[in-house]
């Protein structure tokens, strides 16, 4: 695999603390440290912090050895300092909390790091599920607090949901978005609601996948194959709205009407879709759907779609299978 070039060191933060060095915290720390941000990595105690630092170095060493990171990433990771949770936030510009998803624990840790951090510091939580305002209540300066929801594995997954609370200063949101983009992430600002956006959609997909198995339509292997090989094949390039625009919103409305007859209310044609169709906005073929397209943009989009699909098909054809063999096969 090709080595990636190190991204330029972002102007802000001058230093950061990652508190909680498990599955997510280690990868978040790796993302920051290898981008050149001086990082303090904290666990509950300094001793646990030192062990976490060793795990981080081993992980970066592995990524360098595999050719996934350039050799200088190891020097950058070597500059990471170990700390305990109580002192990690002292003097840093940014704290990212990634302790286990327990409300009482998160509140305690956030209160402690917000108290130890300088007044101008930004404090972020990596919560996957708690409303941001429930956690904001624990910190001294809620206007400088927000959610940054990374995805596993954080060092490779580009998307990060940025979730302001009711009190978050919009300039802080802009600053965090700019920072994440500067280290090569693809942040998107979303409002706080159950599961935010990604987990809500991901779980809707998962529930339907399980239902297809429970109803005997397909085995888990067949469902995985269909998802990966059909609409999932498009997802590295397009989200659901652009995909719907290219398919035709009128077609979507007709298909949903059949699904609603068979599967009930969750599949009813949404009012937003109905109003677009009634207004003649049926996607790329009409010049507008969820997005608007000039004739030239439409041609460019469809040409680029074909180019990317062909490139992805070629990439996938050259990779070995990753799904485990059926029970008893190949073991
Ligand atoms: N695992 C995922 O796929 C995933 C994805 C997105 C978000 N999240 C969220 O990220 C957060 C962390 O999840 P995880 O999967 O990394 O959990 P984890 O259990 O792997 O890691 C949590 C770490 O926090 C440490 N910790 C516990 N108490 C602490 C304290 N008082 N001070 C400092 N460190 C302490 C633990 O020792 C552990 O190393 C959770 O809020 C979770 O919901 C997880």
Ligand 1 near 21 CB (within 6 A): yes
Residue nearest to atom 8 of ligand 1 (CA): 128
How far apart CA 283 and CA 244 sit, in angstroms, is 7
Ligand 1 mean position to 229 CA, how many Å? 33
Ligand 1 mean position to 28 CA, how many Å? 11
Which of 21, 23, 157 most suits a substitution to test ligand 1, by most atoms within 8 Å of the C-beta? 23
Q: Please, which pLDDT band fits residue 321 given cuts at 50, 70 and 90?
A: confident
74: nearest Cα among 22, 30, 19: 30
Compute the mean pLDDT over every residue in the chain, rounded to the nearest whole number. 95
Q: Is the peptide bond prior to 153 cis by the omega test (within 30 degrees of 0)?
A: yes
How far apart CA 197 and CA 226 sit, in angstroms, is 23
Ligand 1 near 43 CB (within 6 A): yes
CB 49 within 8 A of CB 43: yes
Per-residue pLDDT tens over the stretch 254-267: 999 999 999 999 99
Per-residue pLDDT tens over the stretch 144-172: 999 999 999 999 999 999 999 999 999 99
pLDDT value, residue 325: 79
pLDDT value, residue 275: 98
Residues of the chain with pLDDT > 90, as a percent, come to 93
pLDDT at 331 over 80: no
198: nearest Cα among 148, 155, 234, 246: 148
Per-residue pLDDT tens over the stretch 210-229: 999 999 999 999 999 999 99
Q: Which residues, listed in sequence order, are joined to residue 122 by a DSSP beta bridge? A: 94
Where do the DSSP E strands lie in 44-135?
81-84, 94-97, 122-125
Where do the DSSP E strands lie in 94-197?
94-97, 122-125, 145-149, 159-164, 186-189
Residues catalogued as catalytic:
149
Ligand 1 mean position to 287 CA, how many Å? 46
Ligand 1 mean position to 126 CA, how many Å? 8
Return the ligand 1 atom nearest residue 109 CA.
31
CB 41 within 8 A of CB 55: no
pLDDT at 61 over 80: yes
Ligand 1 near 131 CB (within 6 A): no
In 10 A of CB 43, how many CB atoms? 23
Ligand 1 near 169 CB (within 6 A): no
Q: What are phi and psi of 83, to 5 degrees?
A: -155, 170
Report, in this order, helix, strand and coil percent for the chain, each rounded to 5: 50, 10, 40
Ligand 1 near 83 CB (within 6 A): no
Alpha helices in 148-195 (DSSP H): 170-182
In 10 A of CB 148, how many CB atoms? 24
Which of 25, 26, 89, 99 most suits a substitution to test ligand 1, by most atoms within 8 Å of the C-beta? 99
CB 143 within 8 A of CB 133: no
pLDDT value, residue 210: 98
How far apart CA 328 and CA 315 sit, in angstroms, is 29
pLDDT value, residue 286: 97
- Kindly state the average pLDDT of the residues 303-313: 98
Ligand 1 mean position to 23 CA, how many Å? 7
pLDDT at 310 over 70: yes
pLDDT value, residue 171: 98
Most distant pair of Cα atoms in the chain: their distance: 64
């Amino acid at each position: 695999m090709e080595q990636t070039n190190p991204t330029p060191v972002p102007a802000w933060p001058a230093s950061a603390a990652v508190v909680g060095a498990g599955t997510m915290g280690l990868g978040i720390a790796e993302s920051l440290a290898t981008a050149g941000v001086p990082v303090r990595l904290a666990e509950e105690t300094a001793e646990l912090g030192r062990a976490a630092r060793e795990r981080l170095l081993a992980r970066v060493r592995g990524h360098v050895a595999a050719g996934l990171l350039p050799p200088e990433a190891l020097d950058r990771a070597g500059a990471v300092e170990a700390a305990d949770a109580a002192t990690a936030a002292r003097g840093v510009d940014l704290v990212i909390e990634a302790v286990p998803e327990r409300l009482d624990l998160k509140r305690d840790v956030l209160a402690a790091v917000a108290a130890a951090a300088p007044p101008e510091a930004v404090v972020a939580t990596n919560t996957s599920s708690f409303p941001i305002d429930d956690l904001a209540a624990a910190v001294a300066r809620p206007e400088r607090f927000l959610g940054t929801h990374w995805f596993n594995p954080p060092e490779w997954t580009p998307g990060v949901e940025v979730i302001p609370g009711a009190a978050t200063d919009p300039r802080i949101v802009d600053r965090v978005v700019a920072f994440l983009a500067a280290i090569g992430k693809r942040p998107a600002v979303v409002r706080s609601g159950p599961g935010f956006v990604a987990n809500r959609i991901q779980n809707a997909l998962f529930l339907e996948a399980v239902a297809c198995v429970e109803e005997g339509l397909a085995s888990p292997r067949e469902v995985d194959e269909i998802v990966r090989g059909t609409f999932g094949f498009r997802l590295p390039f397009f989200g659901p709205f652009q995909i719907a625009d290219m398919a035709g919103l009128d077609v979507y409305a007709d298909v949903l009407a059949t699904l609603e007859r068979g599967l009930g209310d969750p599949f009813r044609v949404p009012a937003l879709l109905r109003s677009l169709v009634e207004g003649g906005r049926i996607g790329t073929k009409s010049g507008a759907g969820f997005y608007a397209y000039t004739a030239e943009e439409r041609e460019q989009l469809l040409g680029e779609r074909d180019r990317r699909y062909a490139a992805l098909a070629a990439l996938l054809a050259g990779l070995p299978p990753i799904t485990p063999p059926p029970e008893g096969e190949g073991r």
